[in-house]
């Protein structure tokens, strides 16, 4: 980040832009698929209760980066990381870290909705049940609360026992968000959560993200620059595995420091 | 540029004829393929129905029934399923989730070979290791022989079905702070259950009709028995005994037994199809 200008020079900065604590600090992060390096020395501070957007052309490594934040890349064979990711000051790659616990604190929403083949209620209750967070009446309350937070409750309150696959794509995606919220995470990672949705569903999820920011730290990968500009507090621009620029969204989209960022956001490539 | 003419009389005619010819060949081949099945069903109904009565299901051979063989077959299915299914299912889960290595390849290859071992050979194996030491034909020995036959079928279908579950579904569960093993047993298996049930039902249908592995294991009996350490009757073995005997009454019984056995297997196969249909609805 630029040491000279940032806070004062950001146009359109409002009171909501007060500095919050650093939730996750990523330093010197490299990522390798086998021998091929796909991320190069990425450094970002993700701040609490903000929306951080990651943009860049396909294959620039933004999804890979996002997936290292809850170690989802562990699932893929023959990959490894270098560098550190500190969650509230704790290294998530430390050998005694339990990935299951990490993922409870750092939840994830994927590109395509992934409803489990069970009822709407069971989908939301799933993680809470397995993690022993609630049962009986408390569980029903937690499910209802999570669905309300995901702005889905009104639409499905009479259909809770229906299979989740009977919902529309946009509803399914909000269901997946409710499912993540039900395990009470601190951070929510979203990997292009709207790319499979129509504009109306997209708008609903964007509104939802801004709502959720009150309580959660959100990192979203998106192809859609307007979306990043609309919802995020800060934006990082990735290009061929490098973080080119990271700044307040208001600054990055109006007055980028780097020529490559400018070219990308003005549509000259990508 | 020269354009391809839209009307090419000769070529068009030739293609049409070739097309029709192939179509007729395909239909004929299909009909030929289902003729044997049609004939089997026709003869079974023709010869089996005359002796079909309530007595057939409720009486022992002395009163013209096959109750002992029907119950025997159910007992044998229960014994073989009790260990064949758990081993087969867990094996399939292992191969699909953790079997992308040398061990997995060896197990997969072994399962495929086991599936093609002639059933009489499995009967001989069980005769040697179970029947001979105890000097006793038994339901247990028959169940073990049939159970061994189930394992490769169940393992391979379970593996295939689990592999079809999209990776995204696993990741979604993992991202909720759920361990790998719990993800498999709660989400992955739920998503694949239709296909897995189909595999299980087909495996049961297959062993229900087996005779050879029972010849020197369960042996057969003319009496009702549910003891696992005594010889036990089974539908296929009873049919074999009646059909190779000299009495017309027994021949008639054999036909009816065959009708009941085939009906049982058809019901299992139909149930298997139904289970798969549910599956395709659940998994996107």
The answer to whether the CB of B68 falls within 8 A of the CB of B233 is yes
Chain A CB within 8 Å of residue B19 CB:
no
User: How near does any CA of chain B get to the CA of A266, in Å?
Assistant: 33
Q: How confident is the model at residue B226 (pLDDT cuts 50, 70, 90)?
A: confident
- Kindly determine whether residue A183 and residue B177, on different chains, have CB atoms separated by under 8 Å: yes
At B151-209, the pLDDT tens digits run: 999 999 999 999 999 999 999 999 999 999 999 999 999 999 989 998 999 999 999 99
In terms of Cα–Cα distance, which of A24, A187, A189, A20 is closest to A90? Answer: A24
Encoding tokens for residue B85? 């299914």
**In this predicted structure, which of A150-154, B86-90, B234-238 has the lowest mean pLDDT?**
A150-154
The answer to whether the CB of A115 falls within 8 A of the CB of A164 is yes
Q: Which phi and psi (to 5°) does residue A37 adopt?
A: -85, 130
Q: How far apart are the first and last CA of chain A?
A: 23
Encoding tokens for residue B88? 């087969």
What's the pLDDT score for residue A41?
Answer: 95
Q: How confident is the model at residue B282 (pLDDT cuts 50, 70, 90)?
A: very low
Q: What number is the average pLDDT over the span B6-32?
A: 89
**In this predicted structure, which of A135-139, B42-46, B101-105 has the lowest mean pLDDT?**
A135-139
In terms of Cα–Cα distance, which of B242, B223, B264 is closest to B51? Answer: B242
Q: How far apart are the first and last CA of chain B?
A: 47
In terms of Cα–Cα distance, which of A218, A269, A266, A219 is closest to A239? Answer: A269
Per CB-CB distance under 8 Å, the chain B contacts of A125 are none
Distance CA A95, CA A98 (A): 8
**B61 contact partners, CB below 8 Å, separation of at least 6:** B68, B222, B253
Chain B CB within 8 Å of residue A112 CB:
yes
Render each residue's pLDDT in chain A as its tens digit; 270 residues.
Answer: 444 333 433 444 444 456 788 999 999 999 999 999 999 999 999 999 999 999 999 889 999 999 999 999 988 888 999 999 999 999 999 999 999 999 999 999 999 999 999 999 999 999 989 988 888 889 999 999 999 988 899 999 999 999 999 999 889 999 999 999 999 999 999 999 988 888 888 888 899 899 899 999 999 999 888 899 999 999 999 999 999 999 999 999 999 999 999 999 888 775
In terms of Cα–Cα distance, which of A179, A191, A188, A248 is closest to A222? Answer: A191
Distance CA A139, CA A153 (A): 15
H/E run at residue A68: helix A62-68
Distance CA B220, CA B185 (A): 39
H/E run at residue B273: helix B248-282
Q: What SS3 state is found at B92?
A: helix
**A236 contact partners, CB below 8 Å, separation of at least 6:** A44, A52, A53, A54, A55, A62, A243, A245, A246
User: How near does any CA of chain B get to the CA of A154, in Å?
Assistant: 24
In terms of Cα–Cα distance, which of B207, B232, B258, B218 is closest to B42? Answer: B258
- Kindly determine whether residue A72 and residue B186, on different chains, have CB atoms separated by under 8 Å: no
Encoding tokens for residue B261? 């056995």
Distance CA B59, CA B257 (A): 13
The answer to whether the CB of B204 falls within 8 A of the CB of B268 is yes
Nearest CA in chain B to A178: B176
Return the CA Rg of chain B. 25
Q: Which of B169, B177, B282 comes nearest A100 by C-beta?
A: B177
What's the pLDDT score for residue B31?
Answer: 95
Nearest CA in chain A to B279: A117
Encoding tokens for residue A80? 């490894």
Interface test with A, best of B171, B177, B182 (most A CBs within 10 A): B177
Provide the H-helix boundaries in chain B.
Answer: 9-48, 54-58, 67-98, 102-116, 119-126, 132-134, 139-163, 167-174, 180-183, 189-208, 235-243, 248-282
- Kindly determine whether residue B171 and residue A108, on different chains, have CB atoms separated by under 8 Å: yes
Hey, which residues 152-191 in chain A have their CB within 8 Å of chain B?
Answer: 163, 165, 176, 179-180, 183, 185, 189
Distance CA A179, CA A97 (A): 24
Q: Which phi and psi (to 5°) does residue B251 adopt?
A: -60, -45
Chain A CB within 8 Å of residue B191 CB:
yes
Per CB-CB distance under 8 Å, the chain B contacts of A176 are 172
Distance CA A100, CA A131 (A): 10
Q: Measure CA A14 to chain center.
A: 23
């Amino acid at each position: 980040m630029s040491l000279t200008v940032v806070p004062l020079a950001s146009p359109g900065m409002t009171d909501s832009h007060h500095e919050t604590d650093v939730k996750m600090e990523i330093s010197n992060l490299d990522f390798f698929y086998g021998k091929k390096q796909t991320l190069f020395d990425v450094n970002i501070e993700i701040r609490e209760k903000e929306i951080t957007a990651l943009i860049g052309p396909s294959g620039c490594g933004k999804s890979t980066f996002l997936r290292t934040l809850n170690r989802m890349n562990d699932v893929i064979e023959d990959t490894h990381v270098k560098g550190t990711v500190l969650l509230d000051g704790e290294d998530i790659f430390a050998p005694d870290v339990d990935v299951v616990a990490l993922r409870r604190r750092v939840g994830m929403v994927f590109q395509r909705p992934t409803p489990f083949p069970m009822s709407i209620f069971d989908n939301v209750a799933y993680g809470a049940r397995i993690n022993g967070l609630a049962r009986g009446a408390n569980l029903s309350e937690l499910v209802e609360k999570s669905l309300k937070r995901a702005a889905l409750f009104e639409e499905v309150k009479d259909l809770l026992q229906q299979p989740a696959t009977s919902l529309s794509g946009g509803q399914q995606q909000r269901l997946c968000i409710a499912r993540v919220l039900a395990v009470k995470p601190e951070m929510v990672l979203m990997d292009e959560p709207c790319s499979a949705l129509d504009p109306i569903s997209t708008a609903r999820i964007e509104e939802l993200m801004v709502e959720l920011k009150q309580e959660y730290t959100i990192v979203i990968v998106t192809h859609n620059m307007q979306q990043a500009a609309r919802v995020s507090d800060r934006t990082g621009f990735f290009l061929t595995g490098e973080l080119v620029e990271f700044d307040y969204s208001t600054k990055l989209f109006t007055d980028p420091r780097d020529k490559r960022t400018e070219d990308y956001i003005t549509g000259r490539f990508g | 540029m020269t354009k391809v003419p839209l009307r090419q009389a000769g070529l068009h005619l030739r293609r049409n004829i070739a097309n029709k010819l192939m179509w007729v060949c395909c239909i004929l081949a299909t009909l030929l393929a289902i003729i044997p099945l049609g004939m089997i069903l026709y003869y079974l109904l023709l010869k089996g129905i005359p002796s079909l009565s309530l007595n057939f299901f409720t009486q022992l051979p002395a009163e013209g029934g096959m109750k002992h063989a029907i119950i025997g077959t159910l007992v044998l299915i229960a014994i073989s399923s009790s260990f064949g299914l758990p081993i087969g299912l867990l094996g399939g889960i292992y191969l699909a989730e953790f079997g992308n290595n040398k061990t997995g390849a060896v197990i997969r290859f072994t399962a495929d070979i086991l599936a093609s071992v002639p059933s009489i050979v499995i009967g001989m194996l069980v005769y040697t290791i179970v029947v001979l030491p105890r000097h006793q034909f038994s339901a247990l020995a028959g169940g073990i022989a049939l159970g061994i036959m189930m394992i490769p079928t169940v393992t391979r279908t379970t593996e295939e079905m689990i592999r079809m579950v999209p990776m995204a579904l696993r990741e979604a569960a993992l991202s909720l702070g759920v361990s790998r093993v719990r993800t498999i047993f709660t989400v992955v298996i739920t998503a694949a259950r239709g296909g897995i049930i189909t595999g299980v039902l087909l495996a049961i249908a297959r062993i229900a009709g087996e005779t050879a592995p029972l010849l020197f294991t369960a042996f057969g009996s003319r009496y009702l028995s549910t003891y696992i350490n005594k010889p036990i009757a089974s539908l296929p073995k009873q049919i074999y005994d009646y059909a190779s005997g000299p009495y017309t009454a027994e021949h008639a019984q054999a036909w009816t037994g065959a009708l009941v056995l085939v009906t049982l297997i058809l019901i299992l196969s139909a149930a298997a199809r139904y289970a798969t249909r549910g599956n395709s609805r659940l998994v996107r």
